[in-house]
Amino acid sequence: MLATLLRDNAELRALEPCHAEEFLAHLDRARTHIAPWVGASFVASDLGGARAVLQRYADGLAGDRQRLYGIWLDGTLVGGTMFVGFDAALGSCEIGCWLEPAAEGQGLITQVVRLMIDWAFRVRGLARAEWRTLPDNTRSINVARRLGMSLDGTLRQALPGADGIRRDKQVWSVLAAEWPAQAQPPTGDAGVKAELDRLMSAFLGAFANTGGGRPRVDVIREVFVPQGMIISNAGDEPVVYDLDAFIAPRERMLTDGTLTEFSEWEAGERTEIFGSIAHRFSEYGKSGFLRGEWFEGSGRKTTQFVRTPDGWRMSSMAWDDV
C-alpha cells in the first residue's frame, strides 16, 4: 500500500518498530481516550511494550497477515489504522483504527479507511472487508455508515469488560461487488495534480532507511505500470532498467549496510497534464552515509504518467545527477 499524502499537512505511512518512541509518546497522549475501544495489548505503557506492538505488526506484514499505518498531522503521529487481519486466501480482511482527540473531527479516519478498502479490493483482489466495533462507539459506527457498510449482526457478550461485565461487538462489512467503481479523476485540475504528487512522494519515500527503518522498495511496483522503465543518464551513456533490475540492487544497498540514513526528496517540480497522460520535471536532493561516509547530492528527474483503469501510474522516469 502506498505512503499517501492525505492533505497538505497530513500523511499516511507505515508505522514500524523504528517509530517506537514516537508511538509511545502518542499513546501517552491518547491512552485514556482510546483504551475503551482498542485491545489492551495494543495500548503499551513503556518503550519495550511499544516496540513489541510494532514488531508484532511488522511480523504480520512479513507474513501478509497484518498491516499497520500511522497518521501524521503537522509532523506529529496522531493515530493510525490497521489491517487487524488480512487473509488473501479467504479473500477477506478486518480493518481497525484509532485517533487521539486533537485530530478528531477532520475526516481523517474515513479518508484513510476508504483508501485501505479500495487497495484491498482493487490491488489485492479481496472480496470482503470487515469493521468491528462496540455498539456504543458512535464515531466508529458513523465511519462504517459513511463507507457504505452493512451491519451483519451483533456478537453477544463477545468481549470481556474491565468491570467484569461482558460486552457485545457489532460486525459491519462491505463487499467488493458493492464498492463503488473508481471515479475517473478530473483532468488538468488539482485532483489529478494531487494524485501525481502522491505517486512521486511514494516513489521517493520507498528508498528511505533513516532511523533504522527499512526501505519500502516494493512500493515502486505499485506506483509504476508493470512495463515501466527507469533510466539513469548520470554516466557516459544511458542505463535502462525494467522494474526488477532497478529494484534489486537498490534493495541490497539499503539493507546490507552499504547505504544508511538515506533519504531523497523533491526540491521543486513542474507538472503538465494532458488528458490521460502527464509529465513532471523535478529537482531533487538526497543524503546519507555511503560505506560510512556522509554524502549529499542533487539532480533532476523527468517522469511520465498515464491514467489506467486503476488510477494514475508512472510509466517511465529518467534522471541525471548534478
pLDDT in tens, 37-47: 676 678 788 89
Calculate the average pLDDT of the chain: 87
pLDDT tens, 186-227? 444 567 888 888 888 889 888 888 777 788 888 899 899 999
When mean pLDDT is compared over 41-45, 134-138, 159-163, 252-256, the highest value belongs to 252-256
Q: Is the pLDDT of residue 267 over 60?
A: yes
d(CA 27, CA 32): 9
Of residues 321 and 181, the one with the higher pLDDT is 321
The predicted pLDDT at position 44 comes to 84
pLDDT tens, 216-250? 888 899 899 999 999 999 888 999 999 999 999 99
d(CA 311, CA 70): 23
C-beta atoms surrounding 235 within 10 Å: 9
Q: Is the pLDDT of residue 182 over 60?
A: no
pLDDT tens, 87-116? 999 999 999 988 888 888 777 888 899 989
Helix (H) or strand (E) holding 115: helix 108-122
Q: Where are the domains of the chain?
A: 4-178, 190-321
The predicted pLDDT at position 153 comes to 92
d(CA 21, CA 214): 16
The predicted pLDDT at position 184 comes to 45
Q: Could you tell me the fold of the domain covering 190-321?
A: Nuclear Transport Factor 2; Chain: A, (3.10.450)
Of the chain, the percentage scoring pLDDT greater than 90 comes to 45
CA Rg value for the chain: 21
Q: Is the pLDDT of residue 138 over 70?
A: yes
CATH of the domain spanning 4-178: 3.40.630.30
Overall average pLDDT of the 276-297 stretch: 91
User: By C-alpha distance, which of 287, 284, 289, 272 is closest to 318?
Assistant: 284
